[in-house]
Chains A and B, each alone.
Chain A
Amino acid sequence: MSLDRRRWLTAAGATLGSLWLAGCDRLAANSTFNGVLKVAEQWTKGAQRAVTDRKALAKEFTAADLSKDFKANGTMRPQDPEYLALLATNFASYRLEIGGLVEHPLSLSLAEVRATPSRTQITRHDCVEGWSSIGKWKGARLSALLDRAKLKPQARYIVFHCADTLDPSATDGTGRYYESIDLIDAYHPQTILAYQMNDATLPVRHGAPLRLRVERQLGYKQAKYVMRIEAVASLDGIGRGSGGFWPDRGYEWYAGI
Chain B
Amino acid sequence: MADKPAKVLIRRHSGVTRLTHWLNVLALSLLLMSGLQIFNAHPALYWGAKSTFDQPWVSMKKEEIDGEPRGITTVGGMRFDTTGVLGWSGPEGAREQRGFPSWATAPSYRSLADGRRWHFFFAWLFVVNGLAYWLWSLGRGHIQRDLLPARDQLSPRHILHEIVTHARFQFPKGEEARRYNVIQKLTYLAVIAVLLPLMVLTGLSMSPGFNATAPGLVDVFGGRQSARTIHFLSASAIVLFVVVHLVLVVASGFWNNIRSMITGRYAIDVEGDRA
> A residues bordering B, Cβ < 8 Å?
1, 9, 17, 20-21, 24-25, 28, 34, 36-37, 40-41, 43-44, 48, 51-53, 56-59, 61, 65, 67, 69, 71, 124, 126-134, 215-218, 246, 249-252, 256-257
**B113 at the A interface (CB under 8 A):** yes
B93 to chain A: closest CB distance in Å? 20
Number of A-B contacts (CB under 8 A): 133
Nearest residue, chain A, Cβ from B213: A52
Of the candidates B30, B39, B42, B251, the one whose C-beta lies within 8 Å of that of A127 is B42
Number of chain B residues close to chain A: CB under 8 A: 46
Q: Is A250 touching B121 in the complex (CB atoms < 8 A)?
A: no
Q: Is B51 touching A131 in the complex (CB atoms < 8 A)?
A: yes
> B residues bordering A, Cβ < 8 Å?
29-30, 33, 38-39, 41-42, 44, 46, 49-54, 103, 106-109, 111-114, 116-118, 120-121, 124, 204, 206-213, 215, 218, 224-225, 228, 250-251
Most buried by B among A9, A126, A218: A126
Q: Is B51 touching A257 in the complex (CB atoms < 8 A)?
A: no
Q: Beyond A52-B209, A124-B49, A131-B53, is A25–B215 a contact (Cβ under 8 Å)?
A: no
Task: Summarize B's interface: helix, strand, loop or mixed.
Answer: helix
Q: How far is the CA of A25 from the CA of B111 in the complex (A)?
A: 11
Q: Is B107 touching A24 in the complex (CB atoms < 8 A)?
A: yes
Q: How far is the CA of A173 from the CA of B236 in the complex (A)?
A: 44
Q: Is A52 touching B113 in the complex (CB atoms < 8 A)?
A: no
A sample of 7 inter-chain contacts (CB < 8 A) reads A24-B108, A28-B111, A58-B211, A58-B212, A71-B51, A128-B112, A133-B50
Residues of B within 8 A of A67 (CB): 50-51
Q: How far is the CA of A71 from the CA of B107 in the complex (A)?
A: 27
Nearest residue, chain B, Cβ from A47: B124
Q: Is A48 touching B207 in the complex (CB atoms < 8 A)?
A: yes
Q: Is B120 touching A40 in the complex (CB atoms < 8 A)?
A: yes
